[in-house]
Amino acid sequence: MNKRSAFTALVAVLTVLLLTATAFAHIVFFACWDNGDGTISCEGGYTDGSSAAGATINVTDADGSLLFSGKLDKSGELKFNKPAGDFAVTLDGGSGHSVTIKGKDIK
Amino acid sequence: MKKIILLALVFIFATAMTCSAHFVMMYTPETILANGGKITVKSVFGHPFAASVTLDMAKPNAFFVVNKGKKTDLLGTLKPITWQSRENSARAWETEYQVKGMGDYIFCLDPVPYFDQTEDKYIQQFTKIIVNNGGLPTDWDAKVGFKTEIVPLDKPYALWTGNVFRGVVLSKGKPVPYAAIEVEYLNHAPNMELNKFAEKAAVQAPHDVFVTMTIKANANGEFTFGIPKAGWWGFAAISSGPDKKLNGKELEQDAVIWIQAQDM
């Protein structure tokens, strides 16, 4: 292996490492809680503590039909009226990073 | 004669070491929550490894929680309870807190100095635990502004067994070089309903040096501890605080933090 190909290999390894690190850093944290006043709040954020402002939130019923759709505000939160029956909340993080929380797990 | 004096001194020191393992314990069953909910936090003054004598805790000077940089006073939410150890029972405190919103919740206790008659001195342990909701890291590495505190370098709620836990000991916000730190394992599971420690110990110590382990910080006030077992571990930086006297007596101001490790 000459110097140039060694350098190319190094760059390739570094690129892979960098891409891996970036992929990990994209993990979305998502949580919802019951406000106790007939409303649910949800919040999304990233591994580095930054908010997932602007991310789309979809609320669906037991059949998967869309009940409500909205976006997280600039502090990464969204409030909506608690649906009557079974429901699920999904944060669409894009590129396979969606997170779904079932209504019954929201305390 | 010299030998006798030396022996006496050694004995006094040994006794003092054994006595000094008082720990303010703050406890809630889960430090990492998925979707918030109501949690109960108990504050007990005692001996976590042996679950021996529990000491009366007066209503604290301050009790608050910090989330996303915002401090919320919880002193008014504290309810007195009677906590039972294996040897006695004593006054302790509990609070219920509704966790809403993601991030770190640092529960902070600033207790009234406790006068220990055996040691003829006051002990005041500024104590904190960190609960996280949803994984979002927000405040865990922040100072809460205690006269002395341990600021973690590893998230206290995201530790596998075998990880290390690192922290910095601060006095008035500045690192304390070579601070002495006592480490104890919560060896008798707390019963949240009955307010008592389980009779059964999780582990047996081969010697008292494993009951209260003493480690030192480095020149920058940082310490590292490898976690050998899942559960709760308490860290108390001894006499790391700035105030040394109260009512003409010695005052020991300690900084305490608790962590929770989980098995892989």
Q: Which residues contact B205 (CB under 8 A, 6 or more apart)?
A: B49, B211
**Residue A10 pLDDT > 90:** no
Of B33, B134, B137, the CB nearest to A43: B134
Distances, alpha carbon A42 to alpha carbons A76, B158, B180, in Å: 8, 22, 43
Interface ipTM: 0.74
pLDDT in tens, B167-179: 999 999 999 999 9
Cα B118 from chain centroid (whole Å): 21
CA of A34 vs chain B CAs: smallest distance (Å): 8
**Band of pLDDT at residue A93, cut at 50, 70 and 90:** confident
pLDDT in tens, B96-141: 999 999 999 999 999 999 999 999 999 999 999 999 999 999 999 9
- Pick from A88-92, B5-9, B48-52: least confident: B5-9
pLDDT in tens, B206-252: 999 999 999 999 999 999 999 999 999 999 999 999 999 999 999 99
Closest alpha carbon within chain B to A49: B137
Mutate: best of A27, A29, A78, partner B, most B CBs <10 A = A29
The answer, for A49 touching chain B at a CB cutoff of 8 Å, is yes
Q: What is A28-105's CATH number? A: 2.60.40.10
The domains found in chain B, sorted by start residue, are 2-262 (2.60.40.1930)
Lookup: tokens for A17: 């490492």
The answer, for A87 touching chain B at a CB cutoff of 8 Å, is no
CA of A14 vs chain B CAs: smallest distance (Å): 26
In chain A, domain spans: 28-105
CA of B35 vs chain A CAs: smallest distance (Å): 5
The answer, for B136 touching chain A at a CB cutoff of 8 Å, is yes
Chain A positions touching B32 (Cβ under 8 A) are: none
The answer, for B96 touching chain A at a CB cutoff of 8 Å, is no
